[in-house]
């Protein structure tokens, strides 16, 4: 009888241990947090989230002993969302110091950007991608384009075949298309890309045109490039080479009635759009350079870079540039209408600001992009989806990142207010986690001060 009782006791103890979740000594507990489900917009309050070995291991109302966790993050009255993806980022070239490259990558992280899509690749960026993946670099997850494919680098069909095949074999995530490519060369590039299984994104060369580009099935078209030109009726018989800055010169000729057809074509061919709207509301806009340079985030950029930005803005929108504010007003309204239509009726929008580009400081520029998307009429939920769920779909990595689910990478932002009510909540996060590594607000502030001090010396 005693043997039977002892056996039953052992079975009971074993079953209890099996029912408990076990975590490593390095596991992190985020307690009593409100999780925002970005698929539905639903708020899920009072949850405890356990992160272990870079993954979300547990989400639920089950209580845990806080003392058993090395790191315990108090989440009461706070919110968490997935980390953001910057879909049009730039990593400095290797000619830049390694210190500056690492600082740039941290600037992205400091604003909750846990994944970036580098849009001007280099062989050394492949090494950075692996270092980030292996945890050897404080960095967002990196996807990198090939080096630029443009009118100077691919001048013949044979050159297009060779470059595409080479970049695919070298392991780039996608091809970057720039202006200047002739149509026959572009078609060979597309043909080879599809044969070798590598996608392509970027600009729409003027000789290609937006209709042919959409039918060629870009993975993404960035900057809403080519769309304004596509609104010009054929009867106008314009010279496509005279389009100006992303079609600005053709603004008076654009017929917005054509937006529906182009949007439908984007949907049929499953072409994502990365607007980079902030470029057109900051660099190519009536706002003065000195106003932009007075923004607090500019302290993180080298003085030489800021001087260059000011000079280039003067050349683009200064008195002798031909820039007209009245025409810009129409131009920006057309872009906003395109952006809204491509979100509502196209294949979808991806969040991307083109940083570091003129007056777009890495990480911080994503807030300007969000503001531009709001002005176009997108809701907070749509904007957040464009920076989380949509990029995961784009990369076919829904089982890796983009949402807060058990088993996915622990990429998240801890916020003091609900961003669905006010997207300003995304600024100055309480903390950021990238692949299970926690950066508190104090950690972020300390590193930003170091970056600012270094930038002031350059």
What is the per-residue pLDDT across 315-345, written as a single tens digit (0 to 9) for each? 999 999 999 999 999 999 999 999 999 999 9
* Residue 18 placed within a domain: no
* Residue 261 placed within a domain: yes
Return the residue matching tokens 């540039």.
Answer: 321
* Residue 274 placed within a domain: yes
φ, ψ for residue 410, nearest 5 deg: -85, 80
Angle between helices 157-170 and 183-196 (to 10 degrees): 30
Confidence at residue 177, expressed as pLDDT on a 0 to 100 scale: 98
pLDDT band for position 94 (cuts 50, 70, 90): confident
- Sequence-distant (6+) residues with CB within 8 A of 179 are 150, 151, 203, 205, 206
* Residue 417 placed within a domain: no
φ, ψ for residue 237, nearest 5 deg: 50, 50
Task: Examine the pLDDT at 17 and tell me if it is beyond 70.
Answer: no
Task: Examine the pLDDT at 3 and tell me if it is beyond 90.
Answer: no
* Residue 29 placed within a domain: no
* Residue 106 placed within a domain: yes
What is the per-residue pLDDT across 155-194, written as a single tens digit (0 to 9) for each? 999 999 999 999 999 999 999 999 999 999 999 999 999 9
Task: Examine the pLDDT at 108 and tell me if it is beyond 70.
Answer: yes
Give the CA radius of gyration of the chain. 24
Question: pTM of the entire structure?
Answer: 0.94
In the chain, what percentage of residues exceed pLDDT 90?
93
Angle between helices 325-344 and 259-268 (to 10 degrees): 40
* Residue 5 placed within a domain: no
What is the per-residue pLDDT across 431-447, written as a single tens digit (0 to 9) for each? 999 999 999 999 999 99
Q: Facing residues of 56 across strands?
A: 51
Instruction: For residues 241-246, give the mean pLDDT.
Output: 96
What CATH number is associated with residue 201? 3.20.20.140
Domain count, the chain: 1
* Domain encompassing residue 194: 84-400
Range with the poorest average pLDDT among 12-16, 41-45, 386-390: 12-16
- Sequence-distant (6+) residues with CB within 8 A of 4 are none
- Sequence-distant (6+) residues with CB within 8 A of 202 are 119, 145, 175, 176, 177, 178, 218, 220, 221, 222, 225
Exposure string over 288-318, b if 16+ CB within 10 A, otherwise e: ebeebeeeebbbbbbeeebeebbeebeebbe
Instruction: For residues 17-36, give the mean pLDDT.
Output: 83
* Residue 355 placed within a domain: yes
pLDDT band for position 13 (cuts 50, 70, 90): very low
In the chain, what percentage of residues exceed pLDDT 70?
95
pLDDT band for position 22 (cuts 50, 70, 90): confident
φ, ψ for residue 360, nearest 5 deg: -115, 95
Task: Examine the pLDDT at 424 and tell me if it is beyond 50.
Answer: yes
Three-class DSSP labels, the chain: CHHHHHHHHHHHHHHHHHHCCCCCCCCEEEEEEEEEECCCCEEEEEEEEEEECCEEEEEECCCCCHHHCCEEEECCCCEEEECEEEEEECCCCCCCCHHHHHHHHHHHHHCCEEEEEECCCCHHHHHHHHHHHCCCCCCCEEEEEEEEECCCCCCCHHHHHHHHHHHHHHCCCEEEECCCCCHHHHHHHHHHHHHHCCEEEECCCCCCCHHHHHHCCCCEEECCCCHHHHCCCHHHCCCHHHCCHHHHHHHHHCCHHHHHHHHHHHHHCCCEEECCHHHHHHCCCCCCHHHHHCCHHHHHCCHHHHHHHHHHHHHHHCCCCCCCHHHHHHHHHHHHHHHHHHHHCCCCECCCCCECECCECCCCHHHHHHHHHHHCCCCHHHHHHHCCHHHHHHHCCCCCCCCCCCCCECCEEEECCCCCCCHHHHCCCCEEEECCEEEEHHHHHHHHHHHHHHHHCC
Report strand pairing: 79-82 vs 84-89: unpaired
pLDDT band for position 14 (cuts 50, 70, 90): very low
What is the per-residue pLDDT across 197-229, written as a single tens digit (0 to 9) for each? 999 999 999 999 999 999 999 999 999 999 999
What is the per-residue pLDDT across 137-154, written as a single tens digit (0 to 9) for each? 999 999 999 999 999 999
Range with the poorest average pLDDT among 15-19, 73-77, 149-153: 15-19
Q: What's the whole-number average pLDDT of the chain?
A: 95
The Cα 188–Cα 446 span in angstroms is: 50
Task: Examine the pLDDT at 9 and tell me if it is beyond 60.
Answer: no
């Amino acid at each position: 009888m005693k043997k039977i009782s002892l056996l039953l006791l052992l079975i009971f103890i074993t079953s209890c241990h099996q029912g408990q979740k076990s975590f490593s000594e390095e596991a992190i507990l985020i307690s009593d947090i409100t999780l925002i489900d970005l698929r539905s917009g639903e708020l899920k309050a009072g949850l405890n989230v356990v992160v272990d070995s870079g993954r979300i291991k547990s989400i639920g109302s089950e209580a845990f002993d806080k003392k058993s966790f090395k790191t315990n993050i108090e989440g009461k009255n706070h919110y968490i969302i997935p980390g953001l993806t910057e879909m049009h980022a730039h990593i400095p070239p290797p000619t830049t110091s390694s210190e500056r490259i690492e600082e740039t990558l941290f600037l992205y992280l400091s604003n909750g950007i846990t994944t970036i899509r580098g849009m001007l690749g280099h062989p050394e960026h492949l090494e950075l991608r692996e270092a980030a993946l292996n945890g050897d670099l404080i960095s967002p997850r990196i996807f990198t384009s090939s080096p630029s494919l443009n009118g100077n680098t691919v001048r013949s069909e044979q050159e297009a075949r060779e470059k595409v095949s080479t970049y695919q074999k070298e392991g780039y995530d996608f091809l970057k298309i720039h202006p200047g490519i002739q149509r026959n060369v572009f078609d060979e590039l597309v043909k080879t890309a599809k044969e070798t299984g590598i996608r392509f994104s970027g600009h729409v060369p003027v000789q290609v045109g937006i209709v042919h580009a959409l039918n060629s099935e870009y993975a993404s078209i960035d900057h809403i490039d080519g769309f304004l030109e596509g609104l010009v009726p054929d009867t106008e018989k314009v010279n496509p080479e005279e389009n100006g800055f992303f079609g600005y010169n053709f603004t008076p000729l654009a017929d917005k009635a054509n937006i529906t057809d182009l949007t439908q074509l984007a949907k049929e061919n499953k072409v994502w759009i990365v607007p980079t709207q902030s470029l057109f509301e900051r660099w190519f806009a009536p706002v003065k350079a000195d106003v932009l340079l007075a923004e607090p985030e500019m302290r993180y950029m080298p003085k030489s870079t800021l001087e260059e930005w000011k000079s280039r803005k003067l050349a683009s929108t200064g008195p002798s540039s031909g820039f007209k504010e009245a025409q810009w007003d129409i131009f920006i309204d057309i872009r906003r209408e395109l952006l809204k239509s491509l979100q509502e009726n196209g294949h979808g929008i991806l969040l991307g600001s083109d940083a570091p580009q003129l007056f777009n400081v890495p990480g911080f520029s994503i807030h300007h992009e969000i503001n531009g998307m709001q002005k176009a009429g997108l809701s907070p939920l749509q904007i957040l989806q464009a920076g989380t769920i949509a990029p995961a779909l784009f990369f076919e990595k829904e089982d890796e990142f983009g949402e807060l689910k058990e088993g996915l990478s622990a990429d998240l932002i801890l916020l003091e207010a609900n961003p669905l009510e006010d997207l300003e909540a995304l600024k100055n996060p309480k903390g950021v986690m990238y692949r299970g590594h926690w950066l508190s607000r104090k950690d972020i502030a300390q590193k930003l001060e170091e970056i600012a001090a270094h930038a002031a010396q350059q």
